[in-house]
Chains A and B, each alone.
Chain A
Amino acid sequence: MAEPLFTPASGAGTLYGDDNTLYQYDPNTSWSPVASTDTSGIVGTNPVPTTTTTDNNTQPTGDVLGEQTSTVEDQGPSLMDQLNDVFAPTMNYLNDAMSVIEGQQPGVEEEISRDYSTSKESLQGEKASGQRTLKEQGQEAYKRFGDASSAARRLFGELKTGGRQRFGGASSAGQAYGELIGAQLQRGLGAAQSGYNDAMMKIDNAGQDLQMRYDNALKELENQKLAALNESRRWFDEKKLEITRLRGDAESTKSSQMLDLLMQLRNQAFQIYQQDYTYKQQLAQNYQANQQQVSAAKQRLLQFVNQGVGAKNNYLANSTVTPQNYLTFNRSPNTVAPTYTGVTTKKDEDELYA
């Protein structure tokens, strides 16, 4: 037997026994017709019980679903089971699909992250390779600069020697030649320096470009990774949503079917309720008459009680517990009340050990 949908409130009485949860009696609940049934909705306008609280009166309470559930439960274990059985494959399939999807997602994300890591390592390798190449280029350029400078100096030395051989030092031609080849050396060194500077600047720029492109590639890779992850998550989310939607559709279908069933049951129950209502009204009237009689009897009893209370109050008013003592010594009205010492007051144990 399926679990009851509603469990009677604690202390609530039952009209038709504890087993019949459909007509659970709740003294705090009053009944009213539910709104009529809308074909598109579950709840119609048929009178449904509403709960009103009275001080001492407890009216029967309950809800339609409870009644219906009770009714379904009454007849339904087989219906619900059948219904559940009908939808169980679908739901199981969807649950399995959800499980598969949820099981696959971490793997996909891990794969994406792994791809990203692989690509990143590749990029780092490329970057390191590029930096190494650039460093080698710089070293080669520096070596070339050194070679060019050496060559320029060597040429200067050779020209100087040639000039010495050709002109000696006894004429301005030698001086002029020396200064010209000195200028040539300067130009040569300047050109070598300039070329080296240009090369190094380009290499430096290339290094910066490499770093920038590496950064960009890394960022792109990161973006791609995030995009892939997002895409994966979105796909999985879509799938989950789809499954959830399908499951919702199934649930909805199931609920709809269940509602139809419940409405059918409710209508049946309402007819029964209408039939019983009159009887219940009669019972209520009887009950009220009985209650009025009991109340009248209570009023009379109360009068007697009140008489007794009056007698007691009189007695209390006319009797005393503080008789006059005429044998006491007079004392000065201005006498100050003595201060007592040694008065002890109780302390909480917590304070004692505080």
Chain B
Amino acid sequence: MPFFDTKEPKYKPSKVAKAEWKTFKKGVNLLLRETEVSRQELVQADNLMLIGSGVPTGRWGTALYFEANVTGTTRGFATYKSNDGTTNEIFALTDEGYLAKKNGSSYAVISGQSWPSGTDIQAEQLGGYTYIVAEDTSFTRYDGSGLEAFATIAAPTGLAVSNYSGISGLNQCSWKVVAIGLNGGSTTASANYLLTNLPNDLSQSSYHVFWSAPSCASFAGFEIYRGDPGDETFLATTDADVTFFHDFGDPAAESVLVPLTNTTGGVQSKFIKKYKDRLLCVDSNEPNKLLISARYPYQTSFNWMDGGGYIYIDPDSGDNITGIEVQPIADKIVIYKNYASYLVDLNTTQVGNYFILDPTYSPISTAVGCSNPKTIATVENDTFYFGRSGLYVTGYEPNFLNIIRTNEISARIRPYLDKLNDDDYNTACAFYVDHKYIISFPEREEMICYDRERGCFMGPWKFPFGISHMKKYTDSTGTERYVLGSYNDNKVYNFDDSLDSDNGEIMGKTLKTGKDYLGDWTKLAIIRYFYFLLRNITGTVTVNLYIEDRSGTTTLAKTFTITGSEVSGVTGWGTDLWGTAQWGDTNNDDAVTGGEEITRWGSLFKQCRLVQIEIITNTIGSNFEMLEAKLEATKQGSGSLSSSQKA
């Protein structure tokens, strides 16, 4: 006998589908489709950064810091700070060729050296000097008052030699003299002087060697070489003020030959990096040769005799050194190439009574590298660098001591990077400030911010100008300045967290969440209510709610605007354009409120398959903090999708 349940089933109302955005601590994610990103991620975060637990808000504005020279674009920054702090300067080089130090909002030229147009500089301070290098200009240092160039010294002239005694023979010898620069470099040799009819045993006589000093400001001394013509070897040195030498026929060196090139101009290098009390450079003529200076106070000498040295990193491999960084804590140097990175150890080897520098290197990666030294930054205990494979970090492998690993961290912005061209890679620059690694693409006039605290990207940050050089500088008031050098002109800007504009121009902000299915993409949902929680609204903030309706069309389902004055009356700074009115003086609407949370909610009751939230500001002085958002919806049953989409 069949059995039938005659009891009426209990009504179970469908669950309310909720979509909540409580934090955006995962930042922007461009790698995934907009429907794939999590609710902690954003698909667009133009000119936004994260604060707190992952609250998006507008980035810092920028203001003119000072103008460097009159013409040209920024080619590099340097700073100098005396030990007592009385001198604390930042200066910039522009294509005009002169270093200009900030002097109020203007500049003052530092004399003593000039650079060709288009030459980038890098600088490091050590031992009371700021050393400035460029690939085509002599090593230069700044002592707080003026520049001192390690100028190229001409070879000595007027060399002559006389045989004191009448002892003669069939022997002949040639003498040469070179001048030694302050940095340990040497000139090429003077024209040789040949003496014939000398005794076979040179010690049977003595020879008066004399010459004329080159005309230059200063140099360290002279080296005398003697031997067969064309095969002279090192014999002796004299001080700078001694232009003669009494050669008593002592044996000359066997293997120290006359220098073939003039290195008195100091090293010419694209890079300079401080490693403890040494300076690291790369010979611009030998782009795989890492130069290591002697230790303080001999940091201007790269000679092994002074404790310096060099090492060729993967020499002549077709990939040149593109950057140097010191790996924090590890006491190691990291050398970057376009497609490789290497760890350099500075060891010493005892040879007799000498402790010679014995640098060695080992590859970290032979696949990824750095495209530009300006993108390398020390980020806490790690080193960030940007290359053609993306943004990578070099640091300790967690839980393993002394193991250096490198990992990519730019996966989420890879689609953005795919759009970069060679110039973008070559002109990019970065710095690490406020726990953010900010990399600039001056030709795109954009920046990407990597939030170290949250481990996510924000941006891009869009500017009305390109930024080609960035420098963190603490001024004499103790204020950290995030200084930006314009790629377009001679202006130097700095980030200012109190500004919501870029040098008076609109800094539009756009926040866009991912497209949310509200649980199941195969079923439509009816959005019933929406809730928004914001804070610190300034200016005008527009909130848009986009949906993809049953027919598959994306429509703006809801839009509303929040203004500062609407929230909390008229206070604070106005939103007048820069230069048209005084700050906070007129047009008192749209003023900022206090720190109170702003809640906006409403009912929508619209059918959709996808929903996306957008918050934008397009006026000067407008900003917001997006705390949370929530949607409540009712999911429809299966087969609720559009019949037109039915296969």
Interface residues of A (CB under 8 A from B): 156, 167, 170-173, 175-186, 189-190, 193
Contacts and interface: CB of A to CB of B under 8 A. Distances in A.
Contacts, number: 66
Contacts of A176: 304-305, 309, 351, 354, 356-357
Interface residues of B, number: 24
B351 A171 contact: no
Given A171-B309, A173-B349, A182-B256, A193 B359 contact: no
B254 A182 contact: yes
A189 B254 CA distance: 10
A171 B12 CA distance: 79
Interface string B350-371: 0110101111100000000000
Nearest to B256: A179
Nearest to B352: A180
A189 B251 CA distance: 9
Nearest to B312: A170
Contacts of B352: 180, 184
Interface string B323-357: 00000000000000000000000000101101011
A162 to B, nearest CB: 11
B308 interface: yes
A178 B255 contact: yes
A175 B304 CA distance: 8
- Chain A interface mostly helix, strand, loop or mixed? helix
Contacts of B354: 176, 180
Contacts of B309: 171-173, 176
B341 to A, nearest CB: 17
A171 B310 contact: yes
B433 interface: no
B321 to A, nearest CB: 13
B311 interface: yes
B637 interface: no
B229 interface: no
Interface of B: 251-256, 292, 304-305, 308-312, 315, 349, 351-352, 354, 356-360
Given A171-B309, A172-B310, A176-B351, 13 more contacts: A170-B312, A170-B315, A171-B312, A171-B359, A172-B309, A172-B356, A172-B359, A173-B356, A173-B357, A176-B354, A185-B254, A186-B251, A189-B254
Contacts of A190: 251
A236 B358 CA distance: 93
A269 B167 CA distance: 99
Nearest to A152: B254
Q: Output the residue of B251, B253, B304, B309 with the most chain A CB within 10 A.
A: B304
B358 A173 contact: yes
A178 B357 CA distance: 13
Nearest to B348: A173
A188 to B, nearest CB: 10
Contacts of A178: 255
Nearest to A163: B351
Given A170-B311, A172-B356, A172-B359, A177 B253 contact: no
17 contacts: A156-B254, A171-B311, A171-B312, A172-B310, A173-B349, A173-B357, A173-B359, A176-B304, A176-B309, A176-B357, A178-B255, A179-B253, A180-B352, A182-B254, A184-B352, A186-B253, A189-B251
A171 B358 contact: yes
Contacts of A193: 251
10 cross-chain pairs, A with B, having the tightest CB-CB distances, nearest first = A172-B309, A182-B255, A176-B304, A171-B311, A173-B358, A170-B312, A176-B356, A182-B254, A172-B310, A172-B304
Contacts of B255: 178-179, 182, 185
Nearest to B315: A170
B288 to A, nearest CB: 9
Contacts of A180: 351-352, 354, 356
